[in-house]
Structure 1
Amino acid sequence: MIINFNVNDVSWNAPIHQLNGDVLRRHVLINGKVDCLDLNFTYCEATEKGTITDSKNQQIGHFSIID
């Protein structure tokens, strides 16, 4: 599957084989220009979209399945 990420005004697509927090975190830490390792992810199966929040529970980005 292909995931579209939007984090801190940076956008990219990435192929992944499994949708889980560890995989999402790795992509965000490598490409998202974040300075926090404590990231949280929420995901809605109905819309195939999710949000990314930091340790202060502030939204720093979102992601969605595009393929």
Structure 2
Amino acid sequence: MNKSQAIDCFVYFGTCSVADPEVQDTDYVRHKLAMEELVAAHPRHLILRLPQVAGTTPNPHTLL
């Protein structure tokens, strides 16, 4: 993040997988949590933990 640029609100799309004990120890979830920690350091931030947004899945309820 370039600190010279003013950011009104930093919005980050995390994952609800951080609450799933079956995948909590994966590289993906560890990375997402590390990024959330960086974003949370911004005084005005919003972290949205979404389910699967897109991807190859039989789930008909993905966003894309």
TM-score by length of 1: 0.26
More strand per residue? 1
When Rg is computed on C-alpha atoms for both structures, the one with the higher figure is 2
